Chain A
Amino acid sequence: MSFMSRLPRFRSPSPVPCQQVVEMVTDYVEGVMPGADRRRLEHHLAGCRYCTAYLAQMRETIRLAGRITPDDLTPEMRAQLTDLYRRWRTEG
């Protein structure tokens, strides 16, 4: 639980609607969100399981993108590049 969410209700940050949260997640994940916005967002997340699920989906998306494997080179392309390397070696 964040510090802000433990404060009395009249001190709680102005609410952020879910529709706005989905536009804020990248700044949040990237760690570039100004403190006040971050606190508003975290306050919202603490009470919204849907946006929490959305944030988890975004983090999972990023993780899975990191596991995309390179395409295999075609044999022709591989041969061309080997040839390119050998030509370069003889350039001196």
Chain B
Amino acid sequence: MDADAALLARLRDGDEQAFTDLVGRYHSSMLRLAMSFVSSQAVAEEVVQDTWLAVLRGLGRFEERSSLRTWLFTILVNRARSTGEREARTVPVADAGPVVDASRFGPNGGWTLPPEDWAEAAENRIDAAKLSGLLRGCLDGLPGRQRDVVLLRDVEEMSSAEVCQVLAISEANQRVLLHRGRSKLRQVLESELGGGPR
């Protein structure tokens, strides 16, 4: 049984600690996700609280056709989306342009300012807490849907199918957003670890 399935069983048994564990595990990601649909932290917090209540109330009906977290995030996105629509906030436009600055390539498209070899050494050169803070900061700065996709795919480690289901987007759209978002996280690591424009 995976960790979520175990939590679900405990939750259904009325174990309060199981709820606390679930909250600790998903609350901050849910809040991040809600933030990209609504206009303020306060509204996002309300949406997340409503979601938790809906999850508790829905426990008896949840048929486990999807995983617990897919169900959780789907409820959240539906609520956040309808709240956001009521607030009539404009959806952030996706950015365009290359993921690596064109000035780093020569006229034939080859590197003139190439990447450095830090991939193997990243964790030895920056401590884990700083690395986590750095990436979290970058994640929070990504345009809305890029942040959502990177959060669910790479931080929560969902499959692309799960992410498409939760966010109601196509595979192709998901991949474009993932590409742009991941590339920006890489850039942040590069500016810390070496290589690229100074």
Contacts and interface: CB of A to CB of B under 8 A. Distances in A.
- A joins B in a complex: yes
B98 interface: yes
Contact of B27 (A25, A26, A65, A70): A70
| Interface size range of chain A in the complex | 35 or more
Main secondary structure of the interface of B (DSSP, over half): helix
B182 A77 contact: no
B27 A57 contact: no
Contact of A69 (B111, B132, B157): B132
A68 B136 contact: yes
A84 interface: yes
Contacts of B189: 57, 60-61, 64
In which size bucket is the chain B interface?
35 or more
Given A22-B99, A84-B53, A71 B28 contact: yes
A92 B139 CA distance: 40
Given A22-B100, A54-B115, A64 B131 contact: yes
Given A19-B109, A22-B98, A58-B182, 12 more contacts: A19-B105, A26-B175, A58-B183, A60-B189, A61-B189, A64-B135, A65-B135, A65-B150, A73-B24, A73-B27, A77-B27, A81-B27
Q: Lowest 7 CB-CB distances: which A-B pairs, in order?
A: A17-B109, A56-B119, A26-B179, A65-B154, A50-B114, A71-B28, A19-B109
